[in-house]
Structure 1
C-alpha cells in the first residue's frame, strides 16, 4: 500500500544505492515536499484492513492458519472489501512477513514504512540512559527548558536541536573539521564567520567533509520556500559506523556536554536495514452510457466545456479494482549503514505529569525539520514510560491540491474517488491518516520524514502518583548527502565559553557583577536568552 517515488532519471544497473537515492531525490526542496500521491477510497479501505491485522500480536504466524484467515475474510466483508481486494491484502501481508527475520524483534508496524521493536535496546543501556536523565534534570530551575517556556505544558527539553542551531548570519565555520567531541569543545568561539548563506556556500563549495563528501546547502533555485530555511539549520552530529555496526560519535552533540558512550550504544542498536516501499496499485476513471464528448467535434471551446461538464456531472464514478499483488524488486545493491559515516540530530525530551498537572493535551501536527536539513527518517526510543494511560504516535501524510491536476468540473470525481472532503466544514482535507503506533516502555520506532506526526493526549493512570513519557529521538540525515554538522560548527553556547573565561587570568579575580556586564556585551558566543529568541523566529 506504499509506493516507489517516480523519477525520469535512468540509472545503470551498476549504480550504487547512494546514486539511486540521489537520482530519485536530487538535492533541493522538492526532496521533502511529500506532495506526491493520494490513496483512493479503495486503497484506504485496504490499508485499514492490512494495518488492523499487522497491529495484532503474532499476525505473521497466523498467516498460515486457515481458521484465522477465514476470520480475516469475515472482517473484510464487514468493511466492504471485495474478494479481489482481500486477496491483494493477504498477498501483500505475506510479502511483509518475508521482510521479518526469525528471532529478530524488528518488525513492520501497523503503519506502512514504519518499523518498530520492543527489545532493540538492551536493559543495561536503558538503565544507564535513565541515570543520565536524572543528572540532566538536576539543572537549576532557571536553566530548565520547557517547551513554549510554559512549565504547565509539561514538556521538558533536555536536548533541543532548535536551540543554538546553525545561524548562517552568526555561526562560525571551523576548518579543518574537528575529529572528536573533545577537540570540538576546545574550539568554542573559534573559526571564521561567513556571515551569509551565500558566503557559507562559497566557503564550502570545494570542501569535503571528513567522509570525503560534498556539503549540501540550499540555493536560490530551490523550490517550496516555505519548507526551506535560508536562515537556520539544525546541527547534526557525526556518527561513524564500523563494519560490525558499532557506532562511535566523532563530533559533539549540540547542547550536550559529552556523556557519549550511552548514546553511541543506542545508535548502534538503531542502525538496522529498513524495509522497501511498495509499488502503487490503483488508478481511477469515469463511466457513462453516453460517449465522452470529443473536443475535435466542437467549433467553440465554450460549447465543449459545457457539454463535458454536463457529461462528467452525470457519469458514474468507477472505483478501480486492484490488480494482483506483485512483490517489488529488491535493490540490486544491498543498502547497509555499516562502514560509513552517518549524520543525526539528537533530541531528548520528557513529558512529566503530576497529581496537580495530570493530563498532557497532545501535540499539534508537525513535519520533522526543514528541507535544507535533509532529514530522511526519525528514530524514537521511548526509554522510560511510567504510570500514564494509553497513548500513541499518530502519523499522516500531507497532499497538495494541485497534485490532482483536475479542472473544476472534475472536483466531484476527486472528492468521491479519494474521499478528501471534510464534512465538518465542506472543505478538501489535504492530508491522509496512516494510523497510530501505541507507545509502551522500551519501544523503538523508525518512520520516514515525509510523515507528519503527533503525540496523542494522555493522562496519569494512577492520579495520586506522578508519571512520565521520556524519549530520545534521532533525526537521521539522508546518508547520500551531507550537511554542515558539529564537526565544522564549533559550540555556540556562551555559558560553555564563559566557563573557560572564568578559569583564566585576570577574569577569575573579577567581581561577579563585572563578569555579568562583560557577558551581556559579548555578541558571540550566543547567550541562552538570545538562543531562545532565535528559536521562536
Structure 2
C-alpha cells in the first residue's frame, strides 16, 4: 500500500478551534479508539437462547404460554449441556490422582499436560458451567419484555444482538412489487452491459453501486459552499469542510489503521423526512437516472420511509448504549473461586520430604502447584432480577438525511451453484461517515438458508485485567489473552425473504455462505441496501456534486433539436467540454472503481488487523 493511498488526518492542535471532547456531537463509528464493552459468555448464552426463540413463528405470543415455555426451557437445557461438553471437554475428565514420588509426578505431568492445556474445542466460546435456573428465568423475562416492546403494527423488533433490529413484511406488497419491476428494468440490459461486480466470479450483479462514478477528490466538481460555483476541491479544502475532521474536540483516531481516503468518496443522496415520517429524495441517486427510472425513485423513497423507525432505534441505542448484563471485577473474581477451599501446597514441606534429588523435587512441586492452580476459576455471579431497559429513540422526523443506495443480486446457476460468503467488514471509510446500515432482502429464490453474522472489537487499553490471567478472561469472556484476537462474535440473524434488517456500523458483519437448494435450477438473492450517513453532520452529496455520467449528458444533448445534424467535429467539442466539467465515460468510471476497490480492500485488511483482529497478549500488560 502506498503512502499516498490514505491521508494522515490533521492533528487537533493545527486548528484554532478549541472544543471540549464532551462536545463531540457525532455518533460512534468504527474508526476511533473507543469501542464497546466485552460481553460475558453467560450473557452471550442468554442472547443465543433469545435469538433461537425469536426465529420461531409467532414467538411473541408463544412466549406467554407456560406449557410452550416449559418445553423450550427443557430443550435449551439439553442443547446447552451438549455445547458445554463440546467446548469444555476437560469438564468430563477426572481430576488426576497425584502420586507421592517426584519422578512419577513429573511423568504423569508429561503424559497429560498437552491434553489439559490444549483441549480440542468445538463450536463458539461457551460458558464452562451449565445454564442455571436463574439464567433461564432471566432469558424468558427478557423475551417477554421484547414481546411487549415489539411494534406489532409494523413488526419491528429488537434482535438478540445488541443494537440490531429487524422487521418482517414491513414493506407493503405494492412497494415490493414496484421494486421488483424497477429492478427488472436495470437487469434487462444486454449481457455485455451487465455490471458483474469485479472479483465476484460472475456471482454478484451490481444494479446500483456507489463505487461506480464515485467522487474523485481533486477531480470531481462540486458546488462551492460559499459561491455555489463549481470547483474541484483539494484534499485540504475537503477536510476543512468536515468539522468532524478538524478541531480540538476530535476524539483520538487510531492512526494505526488507515481510515480516511484522499482519493475517493461514495456519494449519498439527500432525502427529506417530514414530521409525519414521509420520505422524498432531494437529489439524484448516483448511478440511477432520475428520468429513466422515475418510478423507481418513488419506490425507493417509499421503502426508505419504512427504515426510518428502525434506524431511530439503532441511533437511540448508540446514544445511550445498555450496560452489559454482568459486570465483573477481574481483580476480584478469584476471591470466591473453588481453589480457596483447598489449601495451597506447601513448598518447604514438600522439598523437606524429598531431599535426595532437590532439582527433581522442585520440578515435581511446580507440577503439583500447577494442578492446584488449575482449580482457580473466576467466580461468575448470577444476573440480577431482570428489569426492562430504558429505550430512547433518536428522531429523524422533520430533518434531512443522507443515504447511500446500493442494489445488488447474487445469482447462482447449476454451473456456479454456491456463494462462498463474504469477509468481515464495516461499510465505507471515514469519508462517508456511515453510522448504520439497512438491508431489505426483497427477493430470494431456490437458495439455502443464509445468515448475517456480527462481531465487535475492543480497545486493549480499555480492558481491565490481571497480568497473564488468560484463563480467567477466556472463561468469563471467551477472549484469548495469549495471542488471540481482540473481538467477540455476537451471533447471527437469518436473512430470509421479506426481512428488513438494520445495524450500527460499529459492528463488523459478514455474509454466510449459501447455495442452490435444487442444483438443477438457477437461484438468486436480491437486496436493497441503504447506508445512513451520521445525521449529526453533512458530507458531500449529489445535492452539490453534479452527475459524472458522460452518457447521461450525451443522451440529453442528442435529444435537443438540431443536435443530430451537427458535424462530428462539433459533437467532439461538446464532449470535450463536458469532460472538462467533470463528466467521465463508463470505462473511466470502471478504472476509477478498480482504484477505489483496491484501496478499500487494503483498508479492510489493515482495519481488521489493527482494530478487530489485533493480537492480545496479557503478559505484556
TM-score class normalised by the smaller sequence:
0.7 to 0.9
Range moving further from structure 2, 404-413 or 440-449: 404-413
TM-score (norm 1): 0.78
Cα 1:77–1:466, aligned 2, differ >3 Å: closer, same or farther?
closer
The Cα offsets for residues 302-330 of structure 1, whole Å up to 9 and x where unpaired, read as xxxxxxx9998874322232222222234
Which position in structure 2 is the counterpart of 1:182?
Answer: none
Q: Any conservation in 1 of the 2:207–2:409 contact (CA below 8 Å)?
A: yes
The question of 1:74 aligning with 2:118 is answered no
Three-state SS of the structure 1 residue aligned to 2:145 is helix
Three-state SS of the structure 1 residue aligned to 2:275 is coil
CA shift at 1:342, angstroms?
Answer: 1.3
The Cα offsets for residues 156-175 of structure 1, whole Å up to 9 and x where unpaired, read as 11111122333332222214
The Cα offsets for residues 77-124 of structure 1, whole Å up to 9 and x where unpaired, read as 332211222222222222212211333322223433322222111111
**Distance in structure 1 (CA, Å) of the matches to 2:143 and 2:22:** 30
Q: Any conservation in 2 of the 1:55–1:110 contact (CA below 8 Å)?
A: no
Residues 4-23 of structure 1: matches in 2 within 5 Å?
none
Q: Select which of 304, 310, 314 maps to 1:267.
A: 304
Which position in structure 1 is the counterpart of 2:216?
Answer: 167
Which position in structure 1 is the counterpart of 2:437?
Answer: 378
Range moving further from structure 2, 376-385 or 58-67: 58-67
Q: Any conservation in 1 of the 2:451–2:511 contact (CA below 8 Å)?
A: yes
**Distance in structure 2 (CA, Å) of the matches to 1:351 and 1:500:** 33
Q: Any conservation in 1 of the 2:210–2:405 contact (CA below 8 Å)?
A: yes
Q: Select which of 420, 440, 459 maps to 2:515.
A: 459
Q: Select which of 317, 321, 324 maps to 2:378.
A: 317
Three-state SS of the structure 2 residue aligned to 1:318 is coil
Q: Select which of 273, 282, 286 maps to 1:241.
A: 273
**Distance in structure 1 (CA, Å) of the matches to 2:268 and 2:25:** 20
Q: Select which of 129, 149, 154 maps to 1:99.
A: 149
CA shift at 1:147, angstroms?
Answer: 1.9
Cα 1:119–1:23, aligned 2, differ >3 Å: closer, same or farther?
farther
Residues 107-506 of structure 1: matches in 2 within 5 Å?
107-150=157-200, 152-175=201-224, 191-196=230-235, 198-202=236-240, 204=241, 216-217=244-245, 223-225=253-255, 226=257, 228-231=259-262, 232-258=264-290, 259=294, 260-272=297-309, 273-274=312-313, 276=317, 277-282=321-326, 283=328, 284=330, 285-287=333-335, 289=340, 315-331=376-392, 335-406=394-465, 408-421=467-480, 427-500=483-556
Q: Any conservation in 1 of the 2:29–2:505 contact (CA below 8 Å)?
A: no
Say which one has the larger Rg.
2
CA shift at 1:22, angstroms?
Answer: 8.4
CA shift at 1:510, angstroms?
Answer: 0.9
Residues 32-51 of structure 1: matches in 2 within 5 Å?
35-51=35-51
**Distance in structure 2 (CA, Å) of the matches to 1:407 and 1:227:** 31
CA shift at 1:200, angstroms?
Answer: 2.2
The number of residue pairs the alignment matches comes to 475
**Distance in structure 2 (CA, Å) of the matches to 1:177 and 1:496:** 28
Q: Any conservation in 1 of the 2:36–2:456 contact (CA below 8 Å)?
A: no
Which position in structure 2 is the counterpart of 1:14?
Answer: none
**Distance in structure 2 (CA, Å) of the matches to 1:278 and 1:359:** 38
The Cα offsets for residues 345-390 of structure 1, whole Å up to 9 and x where unpaired, read as 1111011112222221111221122234222221111111112122
Range moving further from structure 2, 272-281 or 29-38: 29-38
Three-state SS of the structure 2 residue aligned to 1:67 is helix
Q: Any conservation in 1 of the 2:214–2:593 contact (CA below 8 Å)?
A: no
Cα 1:163–1:177, aligned 2, differ >3 Å: closer, same or farther?
farther
Structure 1 unmatched runs, 5+: 1-20, 179-186, 206-214, 293-308
Q: Select which of 561, 567, 586 maps to 1:509.
A: 567
**Distance in structure 2 (CA, Å) of the matches to 1:408 and 1:172:** 54
Q: CA RMSD in A?
A: 3.7
Cα 1:458–1:76, aligned 2, differ >3 Å: closer, same or farther?
closer
The question of 1:531 aligning with 2:592 is answered yes
Q: Any conservation in 2 of the 1:218–1:372 contact (CA below 8 Å)?
A: no
